[in-house]
Amino acid sequence: MGFHVTGRLHRKFSAEQKTERFRKRDFVIELAENPRYPQFVQFQLTGDRCESLDEFQEGDELRIEFSLRGREWTPREGGEPRYFNSLDVWTVERATAGAHGEEPPPPEEPPSFADDPPF
Protein backbone atom coordinates (compact mmCIF):
# COMPACT_ATOMS: atom_id res chain seq x y z
CA MET A 1 0.00 0.00 0.00
CA GLY A 2 1.45 3.35 -1.00
CA PHE A 3 0.87 6.89 0.20
CA HIS A 4 1.97 10.32 -0.93
CA VAL A 5 2.39 13.68 0.76
CA THR A 6 3.57 17.13 -0.24
CA GLY A 7 5.56 19.33 2.12
CA ARG A 8 8.62 21.49 2.61
CA LEU A 9 12.03 19.86 3.05
CA HIS A 10 12.90 20.92 6.58
CA ARG A 11 16.10 18.96 7.16
CA LYS A 12 18.16 16.33 5.38
CA PHE A 13 20.81 14.12 6.90
CA SER A 14 23.81 12.28 5.45
CA ALA A 15 23.47 8.66 4.36
CA GLU A 16 24.58 6.12 6.97
CA GLN A 17 26.01 2.68 6.23
CA LYS A 18 24.24 0.56 8.87
CA THR A 19 25.55 -2.86 7.78
CA GLU A 20 27.63 -4.08 4.86
CA ARG A 21 24.51 -4.30 2.70
CA PHE A 22 22.15 -1.76 4.27
CA ARG A 23 22.39 2.01 3.89
CA LYS A 24 19.79 4.62 4.84
CA ARG A 25 19.27 8.36 4.78
CA ASP A 26 16.74 10.23 6.91
CA PHE A 27 15.08 13.53 6.14
CA VAL A 28 12.28 15.63 7.63
CA ILE A 29 9.33 17.14 5.80
CA GLU A 30 7.28 19.98 7.29
CA LEU A 31 3.59 19.42 6.67
CA ALA A 32 1.71 22.68 6.88
CA GLU A 33 -1.92 21.67 6.41
CA ASN A 34 -2.54 23.67 9.58
CA PRO A 35 0.15 26.42 9.51
CA ARG A 36 -0.50 27.19 13.16
CA TYR A 37 0.60 23.68 14.14
CA PRO A 38 3.04 22.40 11.50
CA GLN A 39 3.99 18.73 11.68
CA PHE A 40 7.59 17.59 11.21
CA VAL A 41 7.63 14.04 9.85
CA GLN A 42 10.76 11.93 9.41
CA PHE A 43 11.09 9.73 6.31
CA GLN A 44 13.85 7.38 5.21
CA LEU A 45 15.49 6.47 1.93
CA THR A 46 17.37 3.18 1.61
CA GLY A 47 19.99 1.72 -0.70
CA ASP A 48 20.41 3.39 -4.08
CA ARG A 49 17.55 5.79 -3.30
CA CYS A 50 19.73 7.68 -0.77
CA GLU A 51 21.12 9.89 -3.55
CA SER A 52 17.67 10.94 -4.80
CA LEU A 53 17.65 13.72 -2.17
CA ASP A 54 20.95 15.27 -3.31
CA GLU A 55 19.37 17.64 -5.85
CA PHE A 56 17.04 19.24 -3.30
CA GLN A 57 17.73 21.97 -0.77
CA GLU A 58 16.11 22.61 2.59
CA GLY A 59 13.07 24.79 1.93
CA ASP A 60 12.13 23.08 -1.36
CA GLU A 61 8.53 21.88 -1.76
CA LEU A 62 8.57 18.15 -2.42
CA ARG A 63 6.14 15.39 -3.25
CA ILE A 64 7.00 12.12 -1.52
CA GLU A 65 5.67 8.65 -2.36
CA PHE A 66 6.20 6.17 0.45
CA SER A 67 5.05 3.01 2.17
CA LEU A 68 4.28 2.65 5.85
CA ARG A 69 6.30 -0.15 7.43
CA GLY A 70 6.21 -1.57 10.95
CA ARG A 71 8.06 -4.24 12.86
CA GLU A 72 8.18 -5.92 16.24
CA TRP A 73 11.40 -6.33 18.24
CA THR A 74 11.87 -8.30 21.45
CA PRO A 75 15.03 -7.73 23.54
CA ARG A 76 17.37 -10.74 23.79
CA GLU A 77 17.18 -10.49 27.57
CA GLY A 78 13.43 -10.96 27.33
CA GLY A 79 10.74 -8.51 28.23
CA GLU A 80 7.95 -6.85 26.38
CA PRO A 81 8.20 -6.50 22.62
CA ARG A 82 8.65 -3.01 21.19
CA TYR A 83 7.19 -1.74 17.94
CA PHE A 84 8.82 0.52 15.37
CA ASN A 85 7.39 2.31 12.35
CA SER A 86 9.16 3.69 9.32
CA LEU A 87 8.08 5.71 6.31
CA ASP A 88 10.07 4.13 3.46
CA VAL A 89 10.30 6.52 0.51
CA TRP A 90 10.04 5.24 -3.06
CA THR A 91 10.18 8.55 -4.94
CA VAL A 92 11.06 12.16 -4.18
CA GLU A 93 10.22 14.88 -6.68
CA ARG A 94 9.73 18.61 -6.76
CA ALA A 95 6.11 19.49 -6.01
CA THR A 96 4.28 20.79 -9.07
CA ALA A 97 0.76 21.95 -9.77
CA GLY A 98 -0.04 19.13 -12.19
CA ALA A 99 1.29 15.70 -12.86
CA HIS A 100 3.76 17.06 -15.45
CA GLY A 101 4.36 20.50 -13.97
CA GLU A 102 1.31 22.03 -15.61
CA GLU A 103 -2.08 23.02 -14.32
CA PRO A 104 -4.67 20.45 -15.38
CA PRO A 105 -7.10 21.82 -17.96
CA PRO A 106 -10.56 22.68 -16.63
CA PRO A 107 -13.36 20.33 -17.70
CA GLU A 108 -15.18 21.55 -20.78
CA GLU A 109 -18.57 21.04 -19.17
CA PRO A 110 -19.83 19.34 -16.02
CA PRO A 111 -20.69 15.66 -16.40
CA SER A 112 -24.33 14.88 -17.03
CA PHE A 113 -26.06 12.17 -15.07
CA ALA A 114 -29.32 12.42 -17.01
CA ASP A 115 -28.80 9.05 -18.68
CA ASP A 116 -26.60 7.38 -16.06
CA PRO A 117 -27.60 7.99 -12.42
CA PRO A 118 -24.52 8.36 -10.15
CA PHE A 119 -25.32 5.28 -8.03
Q: What is the CATH number of the domain that holds 48?
A: 2.40.50.140
In a domain, 56, yes or no: yes
Containing structural domain, residue 44: 2-94
Burial (CB count <10 Å: 0-12, 13-18, 19+), residue 82 = exposed
Q: What share of the chain is helix, strand, coil (3-state, %, to 5)?
A: 5, 45, 45
For residue 110, name the pLDDT band (cuts at 50, 70, 90): very low
Neighbours of 16 (CB within 10 A): 11
User: Cα–Cα distance between 26 and 13 in angstroms, integer?
Assistant: 6
In a domain, 117, yes or no: no
How many structural domains is the chain composed of? Answer: 1
Neighbours of 113 (CB within 10 A): 9
The DSSP code for 50 is G
Instruction: List pLDDT tens digits, range 64-90.
Output: 999 999 999 999 998 999 999 999 999
Mean pLDDT throughout 26-54? 95
